[in-house]
Amino acid sequence: MSRPDHSISGTPDSFGLQVGEATLGPQLINIFHQAPVAMCVLTGRDLVVTFANSGILEIWGKTSEMVLNKPLFIGLPEAAIQGFKSILEKVFTTGETFIANEMPIDVTTDGVTHHRFVKFIYQAIRDEKENVMGIMVIAEDITQSVTARKYKEANEIRNKLAIEAANMASFEWIFNDSQFIYSERLPQIFGLDPNTKFRQEHFIELIHPEDRDIRDKAIRKAMKTDTLFYEARIIWPDNSIHWIRLSGKVERHNEEAIKMYGMVLDITEQREHAALLKELVQRRTKSLERKNRELQASELRFQRMTEEVEDYAILLLDLDGTILNWNKGAEKIKGYREDEIVGKNITEFYLPRDRRNKLPEKLIRDASVKGRATHEGERIRKDGTVFWGSITITAIHDEDGEVIGFSKVTRDLTERKLAEDQLRQYTAELEFRNQELEQFAYIASHDLQEPLRKIRMFTGMLADNLDNRELVSKYYEKIESSAARMSDLIQSVLNYSRLDKTENKFETIDLNQIVSHVLSDFELLIEEKQAVILCDVLPVLRAIPLQMTQLFSNLIGNALKFCEKEPRITIGCSKADAEMLGSVSQLDVKKEYYRICIKDNGIGFEQKYAEQIFTIFQRLNSKSTYEGTGIGLALCKKIAENHRGNITASSEPGKGAEFCIFLPV
């Protein structure tokens, strides 16, 4: 008999098998080799592998050379540490059969470890004396089915856990016998006692009437697509409403639907949460919308508040001073329209020299540091004109105290400034005039004393000489004369004080006419003294008529009066040159002036008195020689000044005098 290429050892005899018919020996070996189970025979306490079929070799992952005729644990060392040794030893010792339905075994082949599951029997083999002489091993590799099972078990456990965790209930509805299987969670989901016998009909009964057709639709769809899914409301016994989600599958066997199974989940909370969430979101949204509206309204109000203000420019600036908004006041004060200026920097409003000196930057810096910066000064409008502005820049902070921008308020104070300047000027003028008035009030009263004194003296003398007609006449004259002097004096003083009144109006007048009138007033005197007067063509200009008359009257009168011989008077007119203007006080060298000179051939005076003579009440000559109140020249000076001009005098004793009037063109 040809032996297959298996491992055998020894002859059938050395086997020691208690086999009935010896002829079965080799055939038996053959059968064992071909058995559909794994088999091996371990002989002796050393458990020498005397027989191993391909099945067992496969399980062990070894070749027969590796294991045959060797003790088991030499050829299969890895088995020693996995509990097999003790089991086998026990079998050998006790002769008791060991059966394992499922035992893990790790075998190493070519360095790779395989995890296997085996089912085996260890049966003791006895000799004729009933002593254990070896162990027969019959095994089956059940790795695959065990793995599959374990996998399935794991899945089931996972599912069960998932279901439990998800509060899901499971159900199974077998169509043909209307069997309905379910987990005890299912009645609970429907608010029923867990022990309730839940029938498939419950599904239909307990669903909210309004949602029944949702279920119907889903079931119909499931029959077509094999997938079941719907969410519907159910009514609990206490009439509370809950939501369930049902998902499942239809199982078919040969195209025929045999069962439906699936899971039910109570999603009430979810729904409520969802509803709540939705409500919260709605509320939040509404709240946000409202806040937004309020903000818009507030912004609008602020805008309106600032926009309409006309007297102040109210601007918002960013950190660099860029203009972010504009208002009516800003347009009015600075002249720019909103679309022209928003986005530009405040440096636009500053004078070039202020820009060079970085004034706007400094103000912004100050506002950043101190919270506020104020300034009064010149600013430019769009059209280039300058105005006097009062500026306040205030820093704006966020909740953390960081500066995020500035507000800038500008007031046009040009008018106020002008008014202030005018007031200052007016006050100064007033003070000056007061002083002047005080001075000459004193002098006037002083000078009035004199004629009054004389009147008293003369009346006294008159009283003593009433019989002397000559003396009476003489004294009477004196008294009269003094009284007249007083009158004159008072009149001139009044005249002088009236000179500064604002009622004096400027008119366009022809000086030639004025002089002509004055000369006709002096007709008699001119005739008497045989005076000759030559006059240039005089200009037409703006002046106060009465004062011009007084001026020329005084000067021509003086020229006629202070003259011993026949007066020769010339009145000349020319334009004053810059050099001349420079030498006369109170004149503006940049302006144009007429120079009208009245030259006479009278007694003259010492040049050193040239300024003094214009002082009120200063007389260079004794009263008796030349009549005069002493106010005349002071009057002339005042008149010239009233017209923004001046008057000068030059003379030499005995060589006449020249009085020059400077009047602006």
List residues binding another protein (CB under 8 A).
446, 449-450, 452-454, 456-458, 460-461, 464, 478, 619-624
Of 226 and 450, the one with the shorter C-beta distance to another protein is 450
* Closest approach of another protein to the CB of residue 606, in Å: 9
Q: 28 or 620, CB closer to another protein?
A: 620
Give backbone dihedrals phi and psi of 660, rounded to 5 degrees, phi first: -115, 125
CB of 550 to another protein, least distance (A): 24
Dihedral angle of Cα 381, 386, 392, 393, to the nearest 10 degrees: 50
In angstroms, rounded to a whole number, what is the distance separating the alpha carbons of residues 564 and 601?
Answer: 9
Residues 6+ apart with CB under 8 A from 143: 115, 116, 117, 118
Task: Pick the closer one to another protein by CB: 610 or 620.
Answer: 620
CB of 450 to another protein, least distance (A): 6
Measured from the CB of residue 623, what is the shortest distance to another protein in angstroms? 6
Question: Residue 656, Cβ neighbours under 10 Å: how many?
Answer: 21
Cβ distance to another protein smaller for residue 391 or 631: 631
User: Is residue 68 a contact partner of residue 84, using CB atoms and an 8 Å limit?
Assistant: no
Q: Cβ 457 to another protein, closest distance in Å?
A: 5
Is the Cβ of residue 66 or residue 457 nearer to another protein in the bound state? 457
Alpha-carbon distances, residue 583 vs 242, 576, 578, 615, 648 (angstroms):
113, 11, 9, 19, 10
Helix then strand then coil, % of the chain, to nearest 5: 45, 25, 25
| Closer to another protein by Cβ: residue 425 or 621 | 621
Residue closer to another protein by CB (options 83, 460) is 460
- Minimum CB distance to another protein smaller for 585 or for 622: 622
- At closest approach, how far in Å is the CB of 413 from another protein? 50
Specify which residues 181 forms β-bridges with.
Answer: 172
Between 347 and 621, name the residue whose CB sits nearer to another protein: 621
Shortest Å distance, C-beta 600 to another protein: 19
Using the minimum distance from each CB to another protein, give the nearer residue, 409 or 462.
462
Q: Positive or negative, the Cα torsion across 224, 225, 226, 231?
A: negative
Strand arrangement of the beta sheet that strand 256-266 belongs to: 179-182, 168-174, 256-266, 241-253, 227-235
Tokens representing 448? 């009035």
Q: 3-class SS at 79?
A: helix
> Rounded distance, CA 469 to CA 23, Å?
216
**How is residue 255 written in tokens?**
């195209």
* C-alpha to C-alpha distance for 614 and 151, rounded to whole angstroms: 134
Q: How far is CA 131 from the centre of its chain?
A: 103
Residue type, 457: M
In the complex, minimum distance from the CB of residue 652 to another protein, in angstroms, rounded to a whole number: 16
Taking the least distance from each CB to another protein, the nearer of 351 and 620 is 620
Contacts of 399 (CB under 8 A, 6+ apart): none
Alpha-carbon distance of 519 to 546, in angstroms, equals 15
Q: How far apart are CA 404 and CA 317, in angstroms?
A: 9
Nearest approach in angstroms of CB 609 to another protein is 10
Question: At residue 590, what are phi and psi to the nearest 5 degrees?
Answer: -85, -10
Q: Which two tokens stand for residue 357?
A: 């000196």
Nearer to another protein, 146 or 563 (CB): 563
CA distance 164 to 67: 51
Q: Which amino acid is at 43?
A: T
User: Smallest distance, Å, CB 633 to another protein?
Assistant: 14
Q: How far is the CB of 481 from another protein (least distance, A)?
A: 9
CA distance 497 to 499: 5
Smallest gap, in angstroms, from Cβ of residue 630 to another protein? 11
Q: Quick check: 7 and 66 in contact, CB under 8 A?
A: no
Closest approach of Cβ 434 to another protein, in Å?
23
Q: Of 337 and 623, which has the nearer Cβ to another protein?
A: 623
Q: What does the block give as tokens for 516?
A: 């002509």
Residue 578 near residue 589, CB atoms below 8 Å: yes
Least distance (Å) from another protein to the CB of residue 569?
Answer: 24
> Residue 230 in 3-state DSSP?
strand
What is the edge-to-edge ordering of all strands in the sheet holding 112-126? 48-52, 38-43, 132-141, 112-126, 98-109
CB of 516 to another protein, least distance (A): 34
Q: Please, which residue, 155 or 449, has the CB nearer to another protein?
A: 449
**Angstrom distance (rounded) from CA 242 to CA 206:** 10
Measured from the CB atom, the residue of 397 and 456 that comes closer to another protein is 456
Residue 406: both structure tokens together: 């500035």
